[in-house]
Amino acid sequence: MKTFVVLITCCATLLFVPLVSSDETVQQQLTLFLQNTTSIQADFQQVSFDKQGNPAETSEGTFYLNRPGRFRWHYQHPFIQEIVSNGDKIWFYDADLEQVTIKPAIDSIGSTPALLLSGNVKLNEEFHVIQHGQTEGDMAWIKLTPKKEESGFNYILIGLDKGILAGMELSDNFGQLTRIYFSNLQQNPELSDTLFSFNIPEGVDVFSQ
């Protein structure tokens, strides 16, 4: 569960970067994203790797974000799961297990990269920032390593293609590596408030913390 929460909060902050000129650094592009994005809708593919670096699990779904603090991860394949935050609390729903866990958002997010949701955090104050340069094509990478030891993760690696986020990699403190790929990105769409509230299905077990 802890790994899942860290992944959620990281991705909730780093999903879309507006187009910028090629002479801007990756950090400048990321800063513009944090300043200019208020809501997001995107399809995603998430791949988790084992400690030997082999793909262990792949899942797909749709992601919604309305800053600050509200998001919804709708996992559609291979299992139906929902992770929903209204800014005050987070619902974790597993359809197969018929189970919902409810946690305060502040306890789940804490000092993780969800701080970036505010749009006011300076990257160099919260993270050690390293620009990794370019790989194939126009993909440019930036690495964020948290300065706080209690953050729950080792680093986030962000890949931008001409200013648009194309991939992200998270290494957590449990030795798990996760990558997320985005498609059909929409910046600042109008999103219904109902997306960020969860109606508990009848007959499921509910656990509150």
pLDDT digits (tens, 9 = 90+) for 24-63: 577 777 777 777 878 888 899 989 887 777 888 899 999 8
pLDDT digits (tens, 9 = 90+) for 89-117: 889 999 999 999 998 877 665 444 444 44
Per-residue pLDDT, 134: 61
Confidence category of residue 133, pLDDT binned at 50, 70, 90: low
Q: Is the peptide bond before 78 cis (omega within 30 degrees of 0)?
A: yes
Query: Which 3-state string (H, E, C) describes the chain?
Result: CHHHHHHHHHHCCCCCCCCCCCCCCHHHHHHHHHHHCCEEEEEEEEEEECCCCCEEEEEEEEEEEECCCEEEEEEEECCCEEEEEECCEEEEEECCCCEEEEEEHHHHHCCCHHHHHHCCCCHHHHEEEEEEEECCCCEEEEEEEECCHHHCEEEEEEEEECCEEEEEEEEECCCCEEEEEEEEEEECCCCCHHHHCCCCCCCCEEEEC
| Mean pLDDT in residue range 4-16 | 46
Side chain identity at 147, as an amino acid letter? K
Confidence category of residue 11, pLDDT binned at 50, 70, 90: very low
pLDDT digits (tens, 9 = 90+) for 135-162: 556 777 888 888 877 666 788 888 777 7
Rounded to whole angstroms, the Cα distance separating 77 from 131 reads: 34
Per-residue pLDDT, 100: 95
pTM: 0.78
Mean of the per-residue pLDDT values of the chain: 76
Residue-range domains of the chain with CATH: 2-208 (2.50.20.10)
Rounded to whole angstroms, the Cα distance separating 207 from 135 reads: 45
* Count of residues making up the chain: 209
